[in-house]
Amino acid sequence: MRPTKAVINLARLKANYLAIRKKTKTKILAVVKADAYGHGFAEVVGALNSLKDKPEYFGVALTEEGIVLRKIKVKQPILIFEPVNEFNVDEIITYDLIPTVYSAAQIKLIEKRLAQHDSVRKRKIDGEFKVHVKIDTGMGRIGVRFDEAIHLIKQIASNEKFKIDGVYSHFSTSDEKDKTFSKLQLKRFTDIITELKKHNIQPNVIHIANSGALLTMPEANFDLVRPGISLYGYKPSQALVSDIKLKPVMSLISKVTACRWFEKGEFVSYGKLYEVKQRTQIVSLPIGYADGVNRNLSNNMSCIIKDKIYPQVGRITMDRIMFDVGDSKINIGDKAILIGQSKHYKIDAWDWSKTLGTIPYEITCNISKRVPKVYIDNGN
């Protein structure tokens, strides 16, 4: 196995989940899209389902992701965030997935395919077909407009072939300190729910709270919350203040595979971006941008070796990255922490994010498939 690896601490994953469960006291839809944010579908879902209070739902972006969950024997309801369409409707029906709908045309499409179930399904439906209706309360992406939602939901509720299992929306700015727009979205959503009750329409679950909201807006919890990045140990924004203590689940570890002295005036890596100022040791690690270490981190990141911080130097290359370790006694085979912690130092995905102008979501998702994942469950 490569000396470079992503270490996934499942004990931390479970601790994060249980902390969210304790705070919210609602049902939980665990968001595991994008290969569980780069942490691994099967292992993450398996760890969460090993708990007594396992998630009531799972959520994924793509139909293909839902199929993967079914194939690893996930029994909970699986919500597909992408809209149902002619390209995924048959698989949604076949694999008993819950589609996101927000138009009468989508309902007609599902109804048509259900009528043809013998040719598109491996099993028959007993009772009503479950859907979740998505309402656009201000996100401006997908969903029925909030001022048109009541009409559509009433129309779906009147169709005996369908069951509205859920009604949901998504916050645009819940990860920001200023909650003005989030409160407007919440009011729009709450007004719709209140109106539905007047028409005796009561979905099984009502949900709008993503990680940002569940950490800071308890009034938005309703029946179910949708933790995503918080499961994996990060707040969606450093501006958020929460009493939930989250621990990063992923560490990125490599080993020193080369170490040699450079003289003053010599250059390191492509483009002569780093000139050695005095005689020093440069170590090389077998990891690069093909593994998810963004090239724009060149000369702007660090690693931990033997509980000391060392700067990255020179252009990050596809397969290799260099660090200036001065005159420290560093040996080939020494462990190098790119994301993770030692006794006195810590580097997390926010450190990379600040330099790149992004968020931890992108950092963990971009650790590539060629980096082996090693799973531990030690509670540290």
**Which residues are designated catalytic?**
33, 270
Residue 197 belongs to what H/E stretch? helix 180-198
Looking at the DSSP assignment, which residues form a beta bridge with residue 274? Answer: 268
Return the exposure string of 251-287: e unless at least 16 CB atoms fall within 10 Å of the residue's CB, then b. bbbbbbbebeebeeeeebbeeeebebeeebbbbbbbb
Cβ pair 292, 368 in contact under 8 A: yes
Radius of gyration of the chain (CA): 24
Cβ pair 255, 336 in contact under 8 A: yes
Measured between alpha carbons, how far is 97 from 60 in angstroms, rounded to an integer?
A: 10
Select from 354, 282, 358 the least CA-distant residue to 322: 282
Measured between alpha carbons, how far is 207 from 349 in angstroms, rounded to an integer?
A: 28
For tokens 């540290």, the residue is 380
Other beta carbons within 10 Å of 159: 16
What number of H helices and E strands is found in the chain? 12, 21
